Amino acid sequence: MSNDSHTEENTMRNVLGILMHISFPYIVIVSTIGICGNFLTIIMLSKKTISKNFNNCTLIALALTDLLFNFMLVCRCINDITKSNSEQLCRLLSFLSHLAELLSACFTAQFTAQRFIAVRFPLSVFIEKKIHLIHYLVVSLFIICGLIYCVSLVQNNAYDGCHEELDLTWFLSDALLSFLIPFTIIAILNVLIINHLKKGFQNNQQFRFTRRKEQSEISPISFRKKPSSPYEFSLNRRFRSKIYENMALSTSKGTILQKQPVDGLVLINERARSLDLLQRPSLIRSKSQSYRVTRMLILVSTCFLVLNAPSHICTIGLKMYSLKHTYSIDKSQEISLHPYDNYESYNHTLSTYLDHNDSLHMTKTQSNQNEVNNDLQHMKLLYLIVIITQHISYASYSINFFLYSFCGIKFRRELLKFMSKQRQQLTTSRSITMQNTI
């Protein structure tokens, strides 16, 4: 082997070793933040002051699945440290990880669909408020289907030292259900929501412009200009009296008959205008609140897409590449590409490829050496990219609390009230304990 290939392998080993050392504290920090944040999110979304305007059942279910996923990350780290490779424990951890991943994608697609319906058909919100059973039914259906699928997936695949080896059919079904279908739905609905809001904003701007233009052109009240001289005043009064006399002669009988309905119409218009002015602040307030909720949920679903999509795409790409170039892979050590396998399996598999690189070159002819070497280098690079993107995707299960706090005004207000109340209770309990000790 050449010196360049040796240096590349050493750099790959060094980068992988650095990632292995960073992964444990990173996962512990991200999981701790996610557990605390999702726990507070569940408490806040369960309050009536937040849930009175729209149903939070899907968001609470999403926070529960994110909480479960963060617990599984901590359990996997503990399992890797203790190296207790019990098959039942490994199957349980894999089952809960698959379930949390699948339900998180489904619930994100569900609340995105709910928001699209609320934006596109505003009257349906009142129906959804009265029929809460729809949300609970959809959430329960997702949970039941997810349980059935994950149980069958764990039972029909092999586990070797907590290293999951998915068959091709199960790998494709997992990629389809956990990534392709929900992510496509989320992306399409987000684009439709943004386009609808953009059109509505443009129409509102055009309506306001035309209304202001009409009001400026047609003024219902004409103010009398003060005359500049007494001659102009007498002349205006003389001509005005003549005009009024001619108008009275031409409409002597018609004006008497039409006076009463015209006065009634003016009174009705004034009352309608006053009611419109009274109802306008509440209408503007509800529209602005709906716009803020829509903006917050679009941000949540977009962050979920951006943080999770690279991991799934790289994982699928590595699986396809490994199936295409099977001649350079030992059959006894098949690649498992689920994002939640332990890191020892990645390190062991990649080290095996690196150690057998010389033997592969000995068995292959000189013409195939460069091709095999390139395939191995691509495999190593894909492994590193998969590990990095997996670490990035873990943050998506801990970030929703911060998005709710930054973008949700009511959520932030209730969170501050809750924290101040807890602080007051803590101070009172401390004072009581101090008095008891004295």
Reduce the secondary structure of the chain to three states and give it as a string. Answer: CCHHHHHHHHHHHHHHHHHHHHHHHHHHHHHHHHHHHHHHHHHHHCCHHHHCCCCCHHHHHHHHHHHHHHHHHHHHHHHHHHCCCCHHHHHHHHHHHHHHHHHHHHHHHHHHHHHHHHHHCCCHHHHHHHCCHHHHHHHHHHHHHHHHHHHHHHHCCEEECCEEECCHHHHHHHHHHHHHHHHHHHHHHHHHHHHHHHHHHHHHHHHHHHHHHHHHHCCCCCCCCCCCCHHHHHHHHHHHHHHHHHHHHHCHHHHHHHHHHHHHHHHHHHHHHHHHHHHHHHHHHHHHHHHHHHHHHHHHHHHHHHHHHHHHHHHHHHHHHHHHCHHHCCCCCCCCCCCCCCHHHHHHHHHHHHHCHHHHHHHCCHHHHHHHHHHHHHHHHHHHHHHHHHHHHHHHHCCHHHHHHHHCHHHHHHHHHHHHHHHHHHHHHHHHHHHHHC
Q: Check residue 60 and give its pLDDT.
A: 94
- Give the Cβ contact number of residue 33 at 10 Å: 17
Instruction: Look at residue 402 in the predicted model and tell me its pLDDT.
Output: 94
- Of the candidates 372, 376, 374, 350, the one whose C-alpha atom is nearest the C-alpha of residue 361 is 372
Supply the pLDDT for residue 311: 94
Write out the two tokens for 219: 């003024």
Q: CATH classification of 3-210+287-428, choosing from 2.40.50.100, 3.30.360.10, 1.10.3720.10, 1.20.1070.10?
A: 1.20.1070.10
69 contacts: CB under 8 Å, gap ≥ 6: 34, 97, 100, 101, 104, 397
> And the tokens for 207?
């309506």
Q: What is the rounded CA–CA span in Å between residue 184 and residue 182? A: 5
pLDDT at 379: 80
d(Cα 399, Cα 417) in Å, to the nearest integer? 21
Q: Which residues contact 42 (CB under 8 A, 6 or more apart)?
A: 60, 63, 64, 67
Q: Give how far Cα 429 sits from Cα of 293, 415, 423, Å.
A: 37, 21, 10
Q: Using N-to-C axis directions, what is the helix angle for 133-155 and 87-120, rounded to 10°?
A: 150
- Chain position carrying tokens 């059919």: 169
Could you tell me the two tokens for 271?
Answer: 């009352």
- Tens-digit pLDDT profile for residues 394-409: 999 999 999 999 988 8
Q: What is the CA radius of gyration of the chain?
A: 34
Smallest CA-to-CA distance from 294 within 194, 195, 390, 413 is with 194
- Structural domain boundaries of the chain? 3-210+287-428
Residues with Cβ within 8 Å of 392's Cβ and at least 6 positions away in sequence, in order, are 307, 310, 311
List the one residue out of 334, 318, 323 whose CA is nearest residue 378. Answer: 318
Structure confidence by residue, pLDDT tens digits, 94-113: 999 999 999 999 999 999 99
| Residues of the chain where predicted confidence (pLDDT) is lower than 70 | 1-6, 8, 51-55, 123-131, 201-288, 326-373, 438
Q: Of 418, 424, 302, nearest to 50 (Cα)?
A: 418
Identify whether the C-beta of residue 85 lies closer than 8 Å to the C-beta of residue 160: no
For residue 410 the two structure tokens come to 């009511």
**For residue 269, with 0-12 CB atoms within 10 Å meaning exposed, 13-18 middle and 19 or more buried, which class applies?**
exposed
Query: In terms of Cα–Cα distance, which of 28, 6, 308 is closest to 175?
Result: 308
Here the tokens at position 118 are 């609320």
The confidence score (pLDDT) of residue 54 equals 58
Query: Would you state the structure tokens that stand for residue 182, as one six-digit string?
Result: 């929900």
d(CA 386, CA 109): 24
The pTM is what?
Answer: 0.74
Cα-based angle 405, 408, 412 (whole degrees, multiple of 5): 50
pLDDT of residue 179: 94
